[in-house]
Structure 1
């Protein structure tokens, strides 16, 4: 029997100074493919770490002032923070950018009962598209997790699907994302509104609008996407 583990409170306390929160987790089942830890044993438990809204932005902004020469600054910050947290708590950190790629989207769906939006991004019933997962913490023992609530998919009751009609170059069709078309638009003067104000399709979603990223954060993400 898995009992409640004070490790969850320790993880929460370690993430909070960075604007991060635990985003659910689970115990890998018998025979289930699980990432290997440094000593080659399979992980037993995983806790995802992420944020809602712009909670990380002031913390990341202070950090990047001293690390401006690094590539992919947000990924570098995530790795610096979560690796430190994992080391402190006896775990191991893994990230969406690690190769071979790990199934982060499937883990996120399982950890928080989330579904994909028509834009392909996972959508949260309260925070909408204004949330993200920065990495995960792996542990070699089973952790007791609270039951995952079953969330209704907010897109099911959205009749108009404004997210699919807001992109000026129709990069979204509900089944895929025309990456090249979007990046091409960002590279020309006509793409200034998207570059400076954020993705218009994402902004059109009515769920969680009050949690939208700050303008500075949106510009950062758009610039990072355009240059990838």
Structure 2
């Protein structure tokens, strides 16, 4: 049953909270703008809410040993929520083609291009990830944030990578994979990317190392 008339950011947050998800930003597309479902007035970016996301996720029925449990769970949870709200759920996986989540995040004013060219979020730092987005037919005003890098004088992300794979010139993916194949690279696989962890905002974000290890294994298959 569609419940579209009374949706607010607070109501949306309340619907997401039981799934350990939260609004990470959003924006209002221009009327008729291409690239969005017809009638979209607000695009809301959704991602993990900590603490508690990983224990919650790994207790779900999708965590059954079959491929892509995180994506399957995201489709179920956000798909049902979209139906309830008369919205459309969009995901960063399932392509090609892929939805442009990186430009959408930049447009939200809550995530920015970091010194190492990865997205940095105001509250999640370089650990930010999106499980999907909701294209709403209602107009919601979503607050913008302040780029954390503006007050980060040391920029530890620029020099943290032991493989020299992440820096001001961007991400050297082959160099990263080569390093992960060495004994020295095992802490990156078991605890998560050193550069992401070096971000002061990331350091204060309660993401579990088990989650980072899982995603690193998926990346380095």
Same topology, TM > 0.5:
yes
Q: Is the 8 A contact 2:27 2:43 kept in 1?
A: yes
Query: Which ranges in structure 1 are unaligned for 5 or more consecutive residues?
Result: none
Q: Which residue number corresponds to residue 28 of structure 1? A: 29
In 2 relative to 1, CA 223–122 (structure 1 residues): closer, same or farther, beyond 3 Å? same
Aligned mate of 2:167, from 155, 173, 192? 173
Query: Which ranges in structure 2 are unaligned for 5 or more consecutive residues?
Result: none
In 2 relative to 1, CA 215–64 (structure 1 residues): closer, same or farther, beyond 3 Å? farther
Show CA shifts across 1:105-126 (max 9, x none): 2222222432111233222233
Q: Structure 1 residue 192 and structure 2 residue 161: aligned?
A: no
Show CA shifts across 1:139-161 (max 9, x none): 3x232324x2341x222333332
- TM-score scaled to structure 1, two decimals? 0.83
* 1:54, distance to aligned residue in structure 2 (A): 4.6
* 1:64, distance to aligned residue in structure 2 (A): 5.8
Describe the SS at the equivalent of 1:133.
coil
Q: Which moved more, 1:73-82 or 1:170-179?
A: 73-82
Q: Structure 1 residue 206 and structure 2 residue 200: aligned?
A: yes
- TM-score scaled to structure 2, two decimals? 0.85
Show CA shifts across 1:50-87 (max 9, x none): 12445421211102674221x23222221121111111
Aligned mate of 2:114, from 113, 117, 136? 117
Q: Which moved more, 1:17-26 or 1:46-55?
A: 46-55
Aligned partners of 1:113, 1:11: CA distance in 2, in Å? Answer: 17
Q: Structure 1 residue 108 and structure 2 residue 100: aligned?
A: no
Describe the SS at the equivalent of 1:163.
helix
CA RMSD of aligned residues (A): 2.2
Q: Structure 1 residue 149 and structure 2 residue 144: aligned?
A: yes
Q: Which residue number corresponds to residue 154 of structure 2? A: 160
Number of aligned pairs? Answer: 215
Q: Is the 8 A contact 1:126 1:207 kept in 2?
A: yes
